[in-house]
């Protein structure tokens, strides 16, 4: 039972992460390769706040999302005015820099040793989450809130503006819209989502080290997004289900770890290739027509 | 509003053949309530001139003035907000948006286009959206009649329309905004003769009723003659002829080098 709930917690965290990536990829039409960096920033900032201050979750979540968001602005201002390819390159650079800092700034992050003994989240400042049951429920609530925000944004005039930009940015500019600002905001939200996922992860696992926030992890998130489908919440949920459940299934059918791990990678890779051939929009995603 | 171009120059630096001077001192003024046509051969820089006015090209020399004010510091979207509307050459609607959404995107009302707004002002978003819808329906009614098929296609993706239809809606869309200056790049290309007259009527009405300033690029000389009060002939990077439309189009030089008669 606890094992099952543990999977649920991971699933919820991954849904938030993939939704975050979807804000940038699906809504703003930009490819990001640094979602794990935001995830890590959220985890480390969240950890420091949890260890230093006795604050309720909502306050910590707000601070974490704002700080992670502000990091995203660095990339936006450096690159959004340029072409989209440069944006992707900038996110790649950012991912590498953040990982290096997390790994090497030992005084603050404890580097490769990681930080342990992270306190649990407190709701309303009193009720401390202990054990897997409350975490399963709580992460599910946060995940639902994030899905709600994503859907509301997608349906709003803001979502329409982003879709219009994907179709024809030049025309949208000529209609008097600041398209860079619109994309910057989407990326900000994308970072904030990932930051919150990082906060949840750190306080749930109670130990973090830089290896959870690598470029590989960023690629993994993007793969999950594309497998599940880009552009809507359904797709992100499907993607998270696929990448979180698959390893467990492989373990369940009794494959030894030495086989299961590489097999998993191969299945992800194959899934990506097959999906791009058969259903470029992903399992449940939307057609990203021009 | 008055639009003036003062000594606009644009040079492309090519390593292979040296510099190419596309625009070599273009001067032109269009006053409020005027329709001026720019005519000239392919590749003479007409669209480029529009790109300079709307801010897509920024490394030009000279001045673009609106009511006497140099708009050089303004980026494209601010120029649009300042009242410069544009119909692009050959482009179509945003295909992944519905007809109605295409109309709404052209409104100056940006209520709800900030990500925070659905969470703090969803009620007023609803009213604003409703007003935009009504306005769009009014415009389509007025232009194409209350029995037009576009009214029943409002929730279809714009990519479902033919090229010419998209051009027409593209022009209808201009009425959603509050532009004071319209830059129309070949509005009639790909549109059938019946609708060419509709387009001319729309533009004429806009100028009469809303005192717009219109600058248009056209290769359709009948359209130019029927609509434009003034005409500028662009060749060799300069306005070679300027005056009343009839006069310019009857000029021997223009006839020989552009009209081919
Ligand atoms: N980097 C460059 N170097 C040299 N010439 C260039 C460069 N970029 C664009 N041009 C030229 O500038 C011209 C731009 O033409 P523009 O689109 O303004 O023409 P136009 O008058 O609108 O023509 P049309 O009637 O065919 O639409 C073209 O002749 C193009 O070859
Ligand atoms: Mg042209």
Predicted confidence at residue A80, as pLDDT, reads 66
Whether residue B39 has pLDDT greater than 90: yes
Residues B131 and B87 in one domain: no
Q: Place A290 in a pLDDT band, splitting at 50, 70 and 90.
A: very low
Instruction: Report chain A's mean pLDDT, rounded to a whole number.
Output: 91
pLDDT tens-place string over residues A66-106: 999 999 999 999 886 667 889 999 999 999 999 999 999 98
Ligand nearest to the CA of B23: 1
Residues B60 and B105 in one domain: no
Of residues A148 and B208, more confidently modeled? A148
Q: Which domain-ending residue is among B160, B191, B216?
A: B160
- Complex ipTM, two decimals? 0.92
**Once rounded to an integer, what is the mean pLDDT over residues B72-93?**
93
Predicted confidence at residue B257, as pLDDT, reads 83
Predicted confidence at residue A288, as pLDDT, reads 62
Give percent of chain B above pLDDT 90: 74
Provide the angle, in degrees to the nearest 10, between the axes of the packed helices A35-52 and A179-205.
50
Predicted confidence at residue B137, as pLDDT, reads 95
Residues B68 and B45 in one domain: yes
Q: How far is CA A78 from each of CA A35, A96, A108, A184, rounded to the nearest angstrom?
A: 17, 16, 27, 11
Nearest CA in chain B to A178: B77
- Closest by CA to A39, choosing from A57, A59, A54, A19, is A19
Gap from A85 CA to chain B (nearest CA, Å): 20
Whether residue A176 has pLDDT greater than 50: yes
Q: Which of B86, B119, B129 is facing A157, going by the closest CB pair? A: B129
Residues B64 and B9 in one domain: yes
Q: Place A107 in a pLDDT band, splitting at 50, 70 and 90.
A: confident
Residues B24 and B87 in one domain: yes
Residues B110 and B208 in one domain: no
Residues B205 and B79 in one domain: yes
Q: Is residue B119 part of a domain?
A: yes
Instruction: Report chain B's mean pLDDT, rounded to a whole number.
Output: 92
Structural domain count, chain B: 2
Residues B18 and B77 in one domain: yes
Residues B8 and B48 in one domain: yes
> Residues near ligand 1 with C-beta < 6 Å?
B 12, 14, 20, 22, 40, 42-48, 89
Distance CA A145, CA A138 (A): 11
pTM score of the predicted model: 0.91
Strand bridging mode A127-128 / B35-39: unpaired
Whether residue A37 has pLDDT greater than 90: yes
Query: Mean pLDDT lowest for which of A220-229, A247-256, B6-15, B86-95?
Result: A247-256
Of residues B74 and A125, more confidently modeled? B74
CA of A92 to the centre of ligand 2 (A): 38
Q: Which domain holds residue B22?
A: 3-93+179-259
Q: Is residue B11 part of a domain?
A: yes
Q: Is residue B170 part of a domain?
A: no
Whether residue B210 has pLDDT greater than 50: yes
Q: How far is CA B60 from each of CA A242, B7, B26, B64, rounded to the nearest angstrom?
A: 53, 10, 11, 10
**Once rounded to an integer, what is the mean pLDDT over residues B166-192?**
90
Predicted confidence at residue B191, as pLDDT, reads 87
Residues B85 and B195 in one domain: yes
Give percent of chain A above pLDDT 90: 68
């Amino acid at each position: 039972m606890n094992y099952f709930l543990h999977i649920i917690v991971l699933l919820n965290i991954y849904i938030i992460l993939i939704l975050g990536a979807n804000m940038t990829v699906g809504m703003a039409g930009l490819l990001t390769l640094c979602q794990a960096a935001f995830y890590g920033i959220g985890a480390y900032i969240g950890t420091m706040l949890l260890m230093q201050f006795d604050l309720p979750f909502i306050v910590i979540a707000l601070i974490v999302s704002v700080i992670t968001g502000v990091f995203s602005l660095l990339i936006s201002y450096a690159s959004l005015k340029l072409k989209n390819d440069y944006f992707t390159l900038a996110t790649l650079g950012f991912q590498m820099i953040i990982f290096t800092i997390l790994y090497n700034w030992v005084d603050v992050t404890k580097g490769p040793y990681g930080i342990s003994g992270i306190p649990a989240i407190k709701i309303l400042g009193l009720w401390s989450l202990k054990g897997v049951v409350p975490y399963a429920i709580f992460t599910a609530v946060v995940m639902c809130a994030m899905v709600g925000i994503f859907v509301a944004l997608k349906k709003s005039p803001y979502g329409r503006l982003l879709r219009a930009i994907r179709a024809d940015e030049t025309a949208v500019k000529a209609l008097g819209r600041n398209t860079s600002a619109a994309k910057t905001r989407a990326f900000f939200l994308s970072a904030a989502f990932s930051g919150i996922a990082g906060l949840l992860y750190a306080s749930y696992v109670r130990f973090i080290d830089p290896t959870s926030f690598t470029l590989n992890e960023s690629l993994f998130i993007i793969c999950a997004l594309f497998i599940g489908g880009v552009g809507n919440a359904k797709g992100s949920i499907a993607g998270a289900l696929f990448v979180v459940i698959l390893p467990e299934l492989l373990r369940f059918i009794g494959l030894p770890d030495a086989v299961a791990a590489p097999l998993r990678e191969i299945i992800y890779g194959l899934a990506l290739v097959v999906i791009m051939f058969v259903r470029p929009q992903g399992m449940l995603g939307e057609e990203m027509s021009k | 509003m008055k639009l003036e171009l003062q000594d606009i120059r644009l040079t492309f630096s090519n390593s292979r053949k040296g510099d190419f001077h596309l625009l070599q001192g273009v001067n032109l003024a269009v006053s409020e309530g005027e329709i001026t046509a720019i005519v000239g051969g392919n590749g003479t820089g007409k669209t480029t001139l529009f790109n300079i006015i709307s801010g897509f090209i920024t490394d030009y020399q000279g001045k673009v003035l609106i009511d006497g004010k140099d708009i050089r510091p303004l980026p494209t979207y601010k120029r649009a907000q300042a009242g410069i509307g544009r119909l692009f050459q050959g482009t179509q609607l945003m295909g992944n948006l519905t007809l109605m959404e295409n109309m709404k995107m052209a409104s100056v009302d940006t209520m709800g286009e900030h990500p925070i707004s659905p969470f703090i002002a969803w009620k007023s978003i609803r009213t604003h959206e409703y007003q935009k819808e009504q306005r769009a329906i009014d415009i389509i009614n007025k232009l194409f009649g209350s029995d037009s098929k576009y009214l029943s296609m409002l929730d279809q993706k714009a990519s479902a329309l033919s090229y010419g239809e998209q051009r027409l809606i593209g022009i209808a869309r201009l009425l959603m905004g509050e532009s004071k200056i319209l830059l129309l790049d070949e509005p009639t290309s790909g549109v059938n003769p019946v609708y060419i007259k509709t387009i001319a009527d729309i533009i004429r009405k806009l100028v009469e009723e809303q005192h717009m300033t219109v600058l248009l690029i056209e290769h359709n000389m009948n359209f130019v003659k029927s609509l434009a009060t003034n005409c500028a002939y662009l060749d060799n990077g300069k306005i070679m002829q300027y005056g009343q439309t009839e006069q310019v189009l009857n000029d021997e030089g223009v006839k020989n080098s552009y009209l081919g008669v």
